[in-house]
Structure 1
Amino acid sequence: MTSSNNAAQAVTEALERGDDRQGARAFFDVEVHLPANIDKAFLSAALLYAIENKVEFAVFHEPGKIVIACDPADTEFMPSRWSDKRWHIGGEEFGCHSHPDDE
């Protein structure tokens, strides 16, 4: 069974047990909260970068923010806000792409 099948099965089993921690979010241990007004080109680049690196993640919308959930080992492929107050792809020690903060 592939990793993505394992993820889907784990979420399905959690929902069947009533262990709903907001559905699919129950499978992931890390969440990145981006402002809802984040530049869409940057968001697209970040999501494509994660896909190209075979990261399993989920995207959720909450009032005023976009949430990307993933596993801790994959944070180097996720957006993060660095000490320069700008959003970048990857942690400050991994960074490879950047975009000015939209706020």
Structure 2
Amino acid sequence: MIVRIMGEGQVKLDDSHFPKLNELDDELTAEVEAHDEEGFRRTLTALLDAVRGMGTPLDADALEPSDLLLPPPDASIDEVRAMLTDDGLIPD
């Protein structure tokens, strides 16, 4: 699966990593809904770090279609709220 972190680029991730990412996504969604700014910031950072750490970055000139779009690290809680679906940022 190809994941794009807005403002950074794309990462190729194996599907086996998605259970861990879904855990972080669930935490992030709960923090957005609770307006927990501190928890939101911590979990967004952890989610993006996990994607970067588990994935393989694609070349900057690669033009692969992204299967998943994640917010940039400096996104506000309101910006992420606007991106959430019933499944959060990452579909189950």
Q: Give the TM-score of the pair, scaled to structure 2.
A: 0.29
Which is greater in Rg? 1
Higher relative contact order (CA 8 A, sep 6+): 2
Q: Give the TM-score of the pair, scaled to structure 1.
A: 0.27
